[in-house]
Amino acid sequence: MRRNNIIFLILANLLLLGNVGCSSHQHTVNDYKQECDNNVAGSCNKLGSIYLKGLGVERNFNLAKKYYEKACDLSDSDSCNTLGQWYRDSRAPHIDGVEKDFSRAKKYFEKACLREMYGYACTNLGMLYYYGKGVEANNDTADAYFRKACELYHDGEGCYRHAYMYSKGLNGPIDKESAKKYERVAEKYYKEACDKNNGEQCGRLSHFYRESKNYEKAVFYAIKACDLNDVYGCFMAGSINKYEREHYYEAAYYYDKACTLYDDNCCSFVGNMYYFGNEIPVNKKLAKSYYKRSCDIGTKEWRSDSCEFYETLADQGY
């Protein structure tokens, strides 16, 4: 794509996302609230997503947390898993009471995995045991959760992690045959979920193909994930276009979409591309706008480099 077309798409993307948020969600927020008040778990989960992303309402991280917690209490597995990820990663320093806490992350993953039978939460729980985060590292326990996620709950990521354990001999002797078997199963479950428009699994499928150096399929599924508003998919589409295909304007476009979906890292990536001009022409006004967005999303403590670049450009009059 030509430079002007890409910049037009970036600006159009920003406007489109805002319009979709208003038209798709504004008129249903009160309905979701009423249903959540009546203990409909899925509606509480929807409200959490709406307030987290600011879809037709003012972004309110603490309300997002409140609704995810209620949904989890009502046994919504996705909400429990989301809360577990927040406490595991501490990617939400701007939400009151959310800081890195592996014990709380484990509690939420266990509820989603063991009580609600949510495969990806079992995989997340396995990763805690694999890395020894909040628990004593134990490869056998980690692999048990990966296998549970794969075989009982048909989670592609669990199958992929289970295959990895075989390939590295972390659950016994190296077993390449079993590793290949579970890689094929992982591909199958990723694709089944992606075919049902599960954006997160399309993004994971993209990663799977990128690891096997099948870049054509990797970028196809990354774009599909991104079209389904999966942040990781947008990141993958940007990353593959930048590093494997050297399609730099396309990379900027997909990083930009991840940025509009509140990924502070991707905001910073686009800022860097415009600031340093190694792949696309320098545009320090655009760079400044992306650094500011990265800084605003992540807070100064989380994205200090973006904040510093923004302040430097502001001082220079951009």
80 with 172, same domain: the answer is: yes
State whether 171 and 102 are in the same domain.
yes
> Per the domain annotation, does 144 fall within a domain?
yes
Q: Name the maximum alpha-carbon separation found in the chain.
A: 61
Domain closes at, from 57, 72, 87? 72
64 and 94 co-located in one domain: no
Give the per-residue pLDDT at 303. Answer: 64
Tell me what the mean pLDDT of segment 115-125 comes to: 93
pLDDT over threshold 70, residue 25: no
Determine the Cα–Cα distance for residues 216 and 244; give it in Å rounded to an integer: 10
Supply the pLDDT for residue 152: 94
Separation CA 241–CA 270 (nearest Å): 13
Residue 130's contacts (CB-CB under 8 Å, 6 or more residues apart) are 137, 139, 142, 161
CATH number of the domain to which 155 belongs: 1.25.40.10
Tally Cβ neighbours within 10 Å of residue 73.
Answer: 14
Same structural domain, 44 and 79? no
- 177 and 109 in a single domain? The answer is yes
Q: Which of 163, 195, 227 is the last residue of a domain?
A: 195
Residues 79 and 68 reside in one and the same domain:
no
Torsion of CA 283, 288, 289, 290, to 10 degrees: 90
Over residues 136-145, mean pLDDT:
98
- How many separate domains does the chain show? 3
Looking at the structure, tell me whether residues 41 and 109 fall in a common domain: no
State the pLDDT at residue 10: 54
CB 127: neighbour CB atoms within 10 A? 18
User: What's the domain range around 317?
Assistant: 263-298+305-318
Q: Are residues 169 and 277 in the same domain?
A: no
CA distance 10 to 273: 14
Residue 6 inside a domain? The answer is: yes
312 touches 292 (CB < 8 A): no
> Which helix or strand (DSSP H or E) is residue 269 part of?
helix 264-276
Is residue 223 domain-resident?
A: no
Greatest mean pLDDT among 3-7, 63-67, 304-308 lies in 63-67
Same-domain check for residues 100 and 89:
yes
Query: What is the share, in percent, of the chain residues with pLDDT greater than 90?
Result: 76
- Structural domain contains residue 138: yes
**pLDDT tens track for 43-102:** 999 999 999 878 889 888 889 999 999 999 999 999 999 999 989 986 554 566 667 899
From 149, 172, 195, give the residue that closes a domain: 195
Does residue 172 lie in a domain region? yes
- pLDDT of 140 > 50? The answer is yes
- Are 63 and 111 in a shared domain? no
Per the domain annotation, does 240 fall within a domain?
no
Global confidence as pTM: 0.83
